[in-house]
Structure 1
Amino acid sequence: MKPVPAPLSAEDDLRSAETQAGAFQAVREARRSELAEDYVELIAELIAHFGEARPVDIASRLGVTAPTVAKTLDRLARDGLVMRARYRSVFLTDQGRALAEECRVRHDIVVRFLIRLGLDAETAEQDAEGIEHHVSARTLALFAAFAERRGQPETR
């Protein structure tokens, strides 16, 4: 029979609740910025490869409808991340380019970390799309350090 843990004191319970609430708040904040980050990262990639980012290409690559892209681009323009004119290509502002670069760096670190763990590149790319938005700066630094280690990938 498993031993029953001792009940938490009111102080322990409060600290635990505060810690848990902080963690959930961090996740909510990451989710709010995730969409903007995905858009600016993709726009930067499209511009780098094709010289422009057209809304139709954004919709196709994100698997969403043109009206969804239009609505999101309007919000990103209000937030100062993109510049656009109706029926024209989308371009990043300085703020948008900075965010896109930050996202690209985070994404690359997470991909390298996952590959270093022994994951195949395709799965690492897919998994990094979610992880990159939710990892703290402290954890990301540890991921980067681990990814830089020499030797064979870890196996379990």
Structure 2
Amino acid sequence: MHINESAENYLETILRLSEILPVVRSVDIATELGFKKSSVSVAMKNLRENNYITVTDAGFIYLTDAGKEIAEMIYERHDILSGWLEALGVDKEIASEDACKMEHVLSKQSFNAIKEFVNANILKTQ
């Protein structure tokens, strides 16, 4: 399952918005990310064509199982990495921004090692 960073960000955003909104629309994604609606429309078309999302006639966006799997993976990476950086003393906003960059480039092996370390050494002390 190889997908580009931009698509991963869109899927993660759809997941996060679906947790707080009754339905997710392109305009919600554009507002959340600060992008133009036209850019989001192109991205949604690509995600739909690759079977990561479905879009109803009313414009409601839902993650497919494949899309949700990727979104949850990226969200977990963001959560673990930003928490780890904060525990190291990095400002919360900077930690979140850096986690956004790191979450896409780490190998599964490296991420799992970081995750195990954080769970064993940082989360247990909080």
**Please, what TM-score do these two structures have when normalized by structure 1?**
0.71
3-state DSSP class of the match of 1:91? Answer: strand
**Does the CA contact (< 8 Å) of 1:81 and 1:96 recur in 2?**
yes
Shift of 1:65: 0.7
Q: Pick the aligned partner of 2:24 from 46, 53, 56.
A: 53
Structure 1's consecutive aligned runs of 4 or more residues displaced over 3 angstroms after TM superposition are none
Q: Which structure 2 segments of 5+ residues have no match?
A: none
Name which of 32, 45, 65 aligns with 1:74: 45
| Match runs of 1:7-156 below 5 Å | 33-85=4-56, 88-148=59-119, 149-150=121-122
Uncovered stretches (5+) of structure 1, i.e. residues with no partner:
1-29
* Deviation of the 1:87 alpha carbon: 5.1
What CA distance in whole angstroms lies between the structure 1 residues aligned with 2:67 and 2:117? 29
Please provide the CA RMSD for this pair.
2.0
Return the offset for 1:117: 1.7
Percent of residue pairs bearing the same amino acid type? 31
Structure with larger Rg: 1
Q: Is the 8 A contact 1:81 1:94 kept in 2?
A: yes
Count the aligned residue pairs: 122
